[in-house]
Structure 1
Amino acid sequence: MFIDPMLLATAPGPFSDPRFIYEPKIDGHRLLFSQQDGVVRLYTRHKNDCTHQYPELQLPFDHDVILDGEVACVDPVTGVSDFEAVMTRFQAKRADKIMRLTGELPAYYAIFDILMYQGRDLRRLLLRERKEILANLALPSPSFGVVPHIVGTGEALFEQIKARGMEGIVGKRMDSVYETGRRSNSWRKVINWTYADVYITGYKKAEFGWLAGVADERGRVCPAGIIEFGAEPTERQAFYGVAQQLVTGEDRDFVFVEPRIRARVKMRNWTRAGKLRSPVFERFII
């Protein structure tokens, strides 16, 4: 059984509130664990069945249950989630590769909510009541764990998360019910953004997107990803007005420009390939 998960609103910055609990934000992908009549199915938040990608999570609980959480690959030394590693797991399709990766990049299911248990729908219970039930749930193996939380002190937790280079925190109202399939201010994420200055080296023809580049140690501008969010209409208009004078060529999908326009972006982090992960335009650099 699949349940559309409750989604997060975005807070403008870290905050503290005695009505909220605060959890570390796990840097993986959303995973709904559904056990019905003893059969386990795993789903992404878009209802993609990913059961076979994670053999180590196909373990039944003592009773039928639906759980909400995040699947991650955790660095055993730092304790920090590796997003690229879990994407490697998620994208694996062949059975032999999946089994190999199970050993090389073991998955961990970080559980933060319980939606159904023993045939009872828990979504109308308050979050603090659901957390009590979850805390007493017997887990089937060390590949499963419950996300820890603290009450009220979100700003202090965010500083700890930032110092460790983790993704961010989530604040949740203790008296909130589970709002299926919608984004709610009762759950708010605070991202630990990284910032970078880049060159804009081109743009998409079909829809909005600016090609970003960064200079290497020799001063050459190398591709670093595509900026698709953050730019307001006035900023887009200003860019295209200048970019028309800097065009150097084009292909089927992109128009390329001289790397003269610079911008500040915020992002989740750098990928191992030196690309911006989820960049968001902040402002032009004069």
Structure 2
Amino acid sequence: MKPMLPTLTFERPTGEEWRFEVKYDGFRAFLEWDKNIKLTSRNGNSLLGNFPEIEAFLQDNHELFQPFLPLTLDCELVDLESPYHANFGAIQIRGRMRSAERIKEKAKENPCKLMVFDVLKLRGKDLTKKPYNQRREILETFFKDLELPSFPEKSNPKALQLVPAESNFSRLWDHILLNDGEGVVAKHQKSLWEEGKRTDKWFKFKNWKYVSCFITAYEKSNGYFYVSVYKGKEFFPLGAVLFGFKPDEKAALFQTIKDNHVREDDRFLYVNPAICLEIKYLELYEDQMREPHFHQFRFDLKPEDCTFEKFVEQQKNLPTGIEITHPDKPIWEEPAISKMDFIQYLREVSPFMLPFLKDRLLTVIRYPHGMFGEAFYQKNAPDYAPDFVQTSMSEGINYIVCNDLKTLLWLGNQIAVEYHIPFQTIESTGPDEIVFDLDPPSRDYFHLAVEAALLIKEVLDQLELISFIKTSGNKGLQIYIPLPKNKYTYDDTRLFTAFIAEYLISKNPDSFTIERMKKKRGNRLYVDYVQHAEGKTIIAPFSPRGKQHATVAAPLYWEEVNEDLAITDFRINNMMKRINEKGSPFADYPKVKEEQNFDPVLAVLRKGAK
């Protein structure tokens, strides 16, 4: 089948007759299921080999789908990061994989989702001649009947998820900007599904980024103009642009380059930086702009105004209500990290960090002058907090509750560097997790945290408890045991934390202690089991720390916990590269929370306590 395609527009469609869907960056795909399952790309290539998690989910739920077969669904196969954003680079890598073992490994580590936005056949009945609004109603009923997710959620293990249809463009667009999504597809309510047609009943409106740059070369064979910005005194190439010029603009630009070029070879005419342009593009992928279009000449700029620093600032559009003040302000000296770098980190890590902040009373540590001045704790939401910042009152304190990226970016602009959270949500009656804080006297004794963690892991494995581990971002390690919500009390978990602390001390009393007074600990590691209590807090996973080297409270894979582990290996400036390459070690945390069986362990401890 050939897909029906939307027409690119730069004007926002308006009117009651339109519905708006998130445009995801992935592989357009048709799911056809009769006797066999087929998942094919827009070019007719099978996608099942590279994405076995989709077929596995469908086969596991064959009985559920059986009454609706044969069916055909129009979808986008994506690496979902948030309800409004998919990772283009990651899906490209998956699509190019050839090793069956590596494909299987990635499918388990980071399963992709099939985002469904249209139904073309159900129970063998052709639906393409029905208008969009009727097809949409049928599709939503189908998802409801099968109890499939009606709203995108990365942590949901179900591989088929529905792309919601919105009636309010502005509200959806705000989410697209906030999450750096690709754009929106507008669909006319009366549109039929027409195979292979680029239609004016569907429009795509993209989340363009804008960059000011200068021309460095012209490619003679195809008419591309190559552009760069200054990074220091060197050129930082951004790729080439061809589209968006009017014929007279393109002709005049070529003539100017021809008359003023400084050298020439078989392929290019080269010019010194002089002509400044504004280019719109989707994102930078493999050091090249994706889908660049000429926007306008910038006769008001000089080439030295077109810098890499400004390019970085322009890479992410911000929604209404968010303003980044003093973006160049230095926050860390080594590595050199500006306020904008810090906020970009928060933005990029938000799909992984926000689930741990959700519905939790937040305490932040703010560094108004970066690492160059004093810091202070903030619990109460300030009077000047905007209306979109959610709060919750507890014991006379009006805490911020950071449930969305917009609030996180606002906090970032306040230079809230550290994010500390309790062990329960505002709706919980008890702890949602057990956390062991393994705190050595200094980083020089970090090896004690590694030793303690591995001893604890042996016990947890014997007890069949699933655990996760992260660095504190300061000098220690923290072990998490997720628990089902509203099932246990802090008295219950204290039985276990005390048991583990005593076990460690019995194994090596010269290395571990529960002594709370620092002067009596010596060089032993403090096992802080008392800290796990109501009202106490711990640094959130992925939170930066207000320490030298811009370290992060970094989730780890257990196999990384060894003598080679170092706190300073995990920093703001390399964390996203790590996540993109290895995934999040805490990815299964929500699933484990529901599956964890702590009852047998607690029963033994209660019996022993009597």
Q: Over aligned residue pairs, what C-alpha RMSD do you find?
A: 2.1
Match in the other structure for 1:8:
6
Instruction: State the 1:166 CA deviation.
Output: 1.4
Specify the code of the residue in structure 2 equivalent to 1:117.
L
The alpha carbon displacement at 1:248 in A equals 2.6
TM-score by length of 1: 0.89
CA distance in 2, matches of 1:121, 1:25: 25
> For residues 45 and 270 of structure 2, what CA distance do their matches in structure 1 show?
36
* Residue in 2 that maps onto 1:94: 99
Bigger mean CA offset, 15-24 vs 254-263: 254-263
Task: Return the match for 1:232 from 246, 253, 259.
Answer: 246
Q: Which segment drifts farther, 186-195 or 236-245?
A: 236-245
CA distance in 1, matches of 2:255, 2:213: 19
Give SS of 1:243's match: helix
Q: Which residue pairs with 1:279 in the alignment?
A: 292
Q: Which runs of 5+ in 2 are unaligned?
A: 60-64, 150-156, 300-610
Amino acid at match of 1:282: H
CA distance in 1, matches of 2:270, 2:33: 51
The unaligned stretches of length 5 or more in structure 1 are: none
For 1:143, the equivalent position in structure 2 comes to 159
Structure 1 position 197 matched with structure 2 position 202: no
Do structure 1's residue 264 and structure 2's residue 278 form an aligned pair?
Answer: yes
Matched residue type, 2:80: V
**Aligned counterpart for 2:81 among listed residues 75, 93, 114:** 75
State the alpha-carbon separation in 1 of the partners of residues 268 and 48 from structure 2: 37
Residues 1:115 and 2:120 are matched in the alignment: yes
Cα distance, 1:187 vs. partner?
0.9
How far is 1:88 from its partner? 1.0
Distance 1:101 1:228, change over 3 A: farther
Identity of aligned residues (%): 28
Matched residue of 1:177: which SS? coil
Deviations 1:208-265 (A, max 9, x none): 212121221x1311221121211222122112212122243435x4443323222110
Tell me the equivalent position of 1:188.
203
Segment drifting more, 131-140 vs 186-195: 131-140
| Higher RCO (Cα < 8 Å, 6 or more apart) | 1
Offset, 1:164: 2.6
User: How many residues were matched structurally?
Assistant: 278
SS in 2 for 1:109: strand
Deviations along 1:85-123, one digit per CA (max 9) or x if unpaired, are 111111223323322332344211110001112221110
- The alpha-carbon distance between structure 1 residues 136 and 52, as it changes in their structure 2 partners (threshold 3 A), is same
1:120-178, Cα deviation, whole Å (9 max, x unpaired): 11100111221122123235961110101122x22332233223321211111112111
> d(CA) in 1 for partners of 2:134 and 2:43?
27
Residue 42 of structure 1 is matched in structure 2 by 39
Q: Greater share of strand residues, 1 or 2? A: 1
CA distance in structure 2 between the partners assigned to 1:51 and 1:68 by the alignment:
15
Q: Give a deviation string over 1:4-35, Cα, whole Å, max 9, x none.
A: 11110123322332111111111222111122
Query: 1:221 is matched with which residue: 215, 235, 242?
Result: 235
**Which whole-Å CA distance do the structure 1 matches of 2:78 and 2:40 have between them?**
14
Give the conservation status (yes or no) of the 8 Å contact 2:261–2:269.
no
The question of whether the paired residues in 2 share the 8 Å contact of 1:203 and 1:211 is answered with yes
Check 1:156–1:13 CA distance in 2 against 1; reply closer, same or farther (3 A cut): farther
Displacement, 1:79? 6.0
Partner secondary structure for residue 75 of structure 1: strand
2:238 aligned counterpart, secondary structure: strand
Higher helix share: 2
| Aligned mates of 1:64, 1:247 — CA distance in 2 | 64
Match in the other structure for 2:522: none
| Match of residue 28 from structure 2 | 30
Deviation at 1:275, TM superposition (A): 2.9
